[in-house]
Amino acid sequence: MAHSTAAGIPAFDFTGESLRLCFEPAPNEAAFDMIHEVTRREGEHRARNIVALALAIAHQSLGKLAEDPVVDRFLDRLRSLDAVARVGCEIVGDRCTMDMIVRQVMKRFDDPQQPRIHYSGSPVSIPSHWAHLIAIILHELGTNAIRHGSLRGHRGEVNLRWCVVSNPDPGRCTLQLSWRETGGAPVHATGPKGFGSRILRDLGSVNRRCTAEYKLPPTGLNYHLSIELQDSEVSYD
């Protein structure tokens, strides 16, 4: 019978003490799955802690400059990312529902007593790493709507929809998300393009699996996001 040797990985704990993590081949598939699950949960937990720590450091370092518009926007983006990383993905498994992602971000921009952001979509779950990207996109859309778009006044609304459609390629599908603003003051496509606009416009060049369409008619922003996924990445609730 062949014997395998455990693999050691050097590491350090939070005090700086040297550790040595050893991994031995799992004796059976069930044990391997358990090790994988524990490792995955620990990784997600550390990722959420990093986002929370970054937000805390930003507040401590930039708190006195919070009135600066640039600093305010930066802190706001961290808050939206933290909302999803800390709350939105606190579920069993490695997936987030689209409804949960949308609710966690949009509640920062809408009034529950008089909601003006109306959203609906397929009851689907996606890998949590996509949730962070979608959270940033939704944050930029919400911020833009409040500062320049349909949510700036009192009459405008936003319609947010998502669905998953099959691709011609076997084993692949596409998550489609659309954002449509209506009822606000007429929009003029002039002025400087900020960081948020660049994120929304250039997403396709950042991630080859993403395609973004950004249109700004006088009636309000229309934004469409497509993310190519494998069928195995999507689950239906």
Q: How far, rounded to the nearest angstrom, does the alpha carbon of residue 209 sit from its chain's CA centroid?
A: 15
Q: State the alpha helices, DSSP H only, in 17-65.
A: 29-62
What are the DSSP calls for 153-199, one per residue?
SSS-EEEEEEEEEE-SSTTEEEEEEEEEEESSSPP---S---HHHHH
More confident position, 172 or 57: 172
Quick one: what percent of the chain has pLDDT higher than 90? 22
pLDDT (tens digit, 9 = 90+) per residue, 2-40? 444 444 455 555 455 665 555 555 555 555 455 545 555
**Rounded CA separation 94/91 (Å):** 8
**pLDDT band with cut points at 50, 70 and 90 for residue 159:** very high
Using the predicted structure, report yes or no on whether residue 151 has a pLDDT greater than 70: yes
**Rounded CA separation 182/109 (Å):** 16
Q: Which CATH superfamily is domain 63-236 in?
A: Histidine kinase-like ATPase, C-terminal domain (3.30.565.10)
Question: Residue 31's pLDDT is what?
Answer: 56
What dihedral angle (degrees, nearest 10) is formed by the CA atoms of 181, 187, 70, 115? -30
**Most confident segment among 44-58, 167-181, 182-196:** 167-181
Question: Residue 155's pLDDT is what?
Answer: 86
pLDDT (tens digit, 9 = 90+) per residue, 65-76? 777 877 777 777
For range 88-109, the mean pLDDT: 76
Question: Residue 5's pLDDT is what?
Answer: 45
Please count the other Cβ atoms lying within 10 Å of the Cβ belonging to residue 139. 25
